[in-house]
Amino acid sequence: MAYPSLLLDIQDQVATITLNRPEKRNAISAQMLVDIPALLAEVASGPARVAIITGAGSAFCAGMDLESLRALATQSPADQYQEARRMVGMFQSVYAFPKPLIAAVNGPAIAGGTGIATLADFTLAVPAAKFGYTEVKIGFLPAAVSVFLIRQVGEKRARDLLLTGRIFGTDEALSVGLVTRSVPAETLMDEAHALAASLVALSPTSLAATKRILLQWNHDDVERDLEIAVRESIAIRATPDFREGLNAFLEKRIPQWSGQ
């Protein structure tokens, strides 16, 4: 299959998936929300035993694409629901990928990009990478990512990261457990492939069973919480603060919040 927003290369039983919108800093488009789950499903059913996901150019993923953000303001309730479900489905496809998945974070990974980067089994990041759940800065809601983040770092740290919307670096991401290892930029892909090779040498049956059991422990709770996230994500789009935050972001001005 062809994936307009992604590249796929398979060598030595390792699939390398590249977010391929460098001119947009690999921002998440409507097409990418379709392509990522479809390509991961293809790799999951194919011969590759490990996957690596990275970004083309200088960024890993800059969050939601501006055109997609503009579309949010005019979507019907039915379209909003479908878009929210696609976003959740994209994150689920990364989180629940049945084979070992390595994120090689080559640059900024912001908002939804932080989600993609940190939901992999292993996250290798260059020292200059930046992360952040910035949704509150535009009156939006870090709904789906919060479901996973609180399980990854605990409630207190999740509150800090989600409520402030602040940008943080690789060192902090490493200290809270969102990044596995900080890696020099010049050796990032070499180290990602070395890790992948070490995983290829292990029993694929054992690795698949281990991932399956890890995912089963929280499966019902995660599914329930993601449904809540979808509802909350849709509800906030009907608020004046969301419309103001979105317009201010697109117009590059300071938002004037109404508190509604």
- CATH code: domain of residue 95: 3.90.226.10
- Identified catalytic residue from 42, 135, 223, 244: 135
User: What percentage of the chain carries pLDDT values higher than 90?
Assistant: 86
Indicate whether 142 belongs to any domain.
Answer: yes
Indicate whether 120 belongs to any domain.
Answer: yes
Q: What confidence tens digit (pLDDT) does each residue in 55-111 have?
A: 999 999 999 998 887 787 777 888 888 888 999 999 999 999 999 999 999 999 999
Tell me how many domains the chain contains: 1
Name the residue range of residue 173's domain.
Answer: 6-186
Q: What is the average per-residue pLDDT within 10-28? A: 97
Q: What confidence tens digit (pLDDT) does each residue in 184-217 have?
A: 999 999 999 999 999 999 999 999 999 999 999 9
Q: What is the average per-residue pLDDT within 20-29? A: 96
Indicate whether 231 belongs to any domain.
Answer: no
Q: What is the average per-residue pLDDT within 151-163? A: 97
Indicate whether 225 belongs to any domain.
Answer: no
First to last CA, the chain: 45
Q: What is the average per-residue pLDDT within 148-173? A: 97
42: annotated active-site residue: no
Spatial contact of 41 and 76, defined as CB atoms under 8 Å apart: no
Give the CA angle between residues 142, 32, 146 to the nearest 5°. 15
**pLDDT surpasses 80 at 50:** yes
User: What percentage of the chain carries pLDDT values higher than 70?
Assistant: 100
Spatial contact of 135 and 165, defined as CB atoms under 8 Å apart: yes
Q: Considering the chain, what is the average pLDDT of its residues?
A: 95
Backbone angles phi, psi at 120, to 5 degrees: -70, 165
